[in-house]
């Protein structure tokens, strides 16, 4: 337990339990961020949609400073919920892991919450996925020993809990291992040369013509489900995990104005967990079909990423870029 964690009352036991409970409750309330509820338009998209201008985030299309990029691996087991700071991520990735369960990865640049978590381990395919961000920082709680060398040599700044304990703390009133949190600013201070936000292929603008009216879509893995239901009142897709509403630590629903369901190959990797189950390798370089959810509609698109160093484009049937609604984007990987 760090000195900082002790002061926060996030670990330990004894006569101060009531004080810790009060502080833990306050922490849960202050970490969360309210949902984005900006309205959307339904005008026909222009034929030429360019990258966001310099004063806009290339990840959200919103006004933001283009700060250094930090990716954080989130636990998504039932005991790890609700999540802290996920609503402030620019991009949220939903990934399949061993046993058909899911993990999340939040990508931050424009806004940095004070605390984020709970944090869990990285996977081999995260290296390929993150290459499009240049050389970002990656916060995680650990990896299999056989993967440590690859992460150390990868074009990113690996910032695991074991090597940078001062950037982390345990707390939140949860059982281990679902109780580890990272301080994004502290993690980034150890990676001063982390790449700043740059174009990764996302385009933003008014909704195009067409699309199919859709109330909800679900992506299932063998041991996890992820549902996104359109809310006309909030004008965004509200997320649910395993049939239960996904919420931040304040109780506010998680969700986004744009959700991308990207169908990719996920063959077994060479790595296995302690039970012998192979970890899926999520292939994000290549091409395939994708469904973009925005403004209560589903749009059939094609995704393409020619190399690990390049970003991912999403195009409509006529070849035009598929514009996202400005705001947080969820990327959900689904089997082909």
Over 70: is that where the pLDDT of 288 sits? yes
Cα–Cα distance for residue pair 295/63, rounded to 1 Å: 21
Residue 45's contacts (CB-CB under 8 Å, 6 or more residues apart) are 205, 206, 207, 208, 209, 320, 323
What are 245-272's pLDDT values in tens digits? 999 998 999 999 999 999 999 999 887 6
Band (30; pLDDT cuts 50, 70, 90): very low
Annotated domain spans of the chain: 1-336
pLDDT value for 287:
98
Cα–Cα distance for residue pair 283/266, rounded to 1 Å: 6
Nearest alpha-carbon partner for 152 in 119, 122, 109, 116: 122
Cα–Cα distance for residue pair 117/47, rounded to 1 Å: 40
**For the domain with range 1-336, which CATH number is right: 3.50.90.10, 3.40.190.10, 1.10.3720.10, 3.40.50.170?**
3.50.90.10
Band (49; pLDDT cuts 50, 70, 90): low
Q: Report pTM.
A: 0.84
Integer CA distances (angstroms), 195 to 74, 111, 131, in order: 21, 15, 11
Q: Decide: helix, strand or coil at residue 236.
A: strand
Band (50; pLDDT cuts 50, 70, 90): low
CA 223 to chain CA centroid, Å, is 19
What are 137-173's pLDDT values in tens digits? 999 998 777 788 899 899 999 999 999 999 999 987 8
What are 86-98's pLDDT values in tens digits? 999 999 999 999 9
């Amino acid at each position: 337990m760090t000195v900082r964690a002790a002061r926060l009352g996030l670990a330990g036991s004894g006569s101060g339990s009531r004080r810790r409970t009060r502080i833990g409750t306050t922490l849960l309330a202050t970490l969360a961020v309210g949902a984005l509820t900006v309205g959307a338009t339904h005008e026909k998209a222009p034929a030429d949609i360019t990258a966001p201008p310099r004063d806009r985030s290339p990840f959200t299309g919103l006004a933001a400073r283009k700060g250094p990029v930090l990716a954080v691996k989130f636990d998504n087991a039932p005991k790890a919920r609700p999540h802290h700071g996920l609503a402030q991520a620019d991009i949220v990735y939903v990934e399949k892991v061993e046993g058909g369960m899911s993990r999340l990865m939040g990508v931050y640049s424009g806004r940095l919450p004070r605390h984020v978590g709970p944090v869990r381990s990285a996977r081999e395919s995260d290296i390929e996925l993150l290459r499009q961000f240049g050389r970002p920082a990656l916060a995680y709680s650990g990896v299999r020993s056989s993967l440590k060398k690859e992460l150390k040599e990868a074009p990113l700044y690996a910032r695991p809990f074991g090597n940078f304990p001062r950037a982390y703390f345990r707390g939140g009133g949860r059982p281990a291992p679902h109780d580890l949190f990272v301080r994004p600013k502290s993690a980034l201070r150890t990676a001063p040369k982390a790449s700043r936000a740059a174009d990764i292929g996302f385009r933003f603008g008014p909704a195009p013509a067409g699309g199919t009216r859709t109330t909800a879509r679900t992506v299932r893995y063998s041991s996890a489900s992820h549902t996104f239901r359109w809310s006309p009142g909030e004008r965004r897709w509200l997320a649910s995990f395993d049939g239960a509403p996904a919420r931040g630590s304040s109780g506010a629903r998680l969700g986004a104005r744009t959700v991308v369901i990207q169908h990719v190959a996920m063959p077994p990797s060479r790595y296995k967990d302690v039970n012998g189950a192979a970890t899926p390798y999520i292939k994000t370089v290549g091409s395939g079909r994708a469904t973009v959810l925005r403004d209560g509609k589903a749009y059939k698109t094609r995704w393409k990423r020619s190399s690990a160093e390049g970003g991912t484009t999403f195009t409509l049937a006529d070849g035009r870029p598929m514009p996202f609604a400005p705001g947080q984007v969820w990327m959900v990987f689904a089997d082909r």
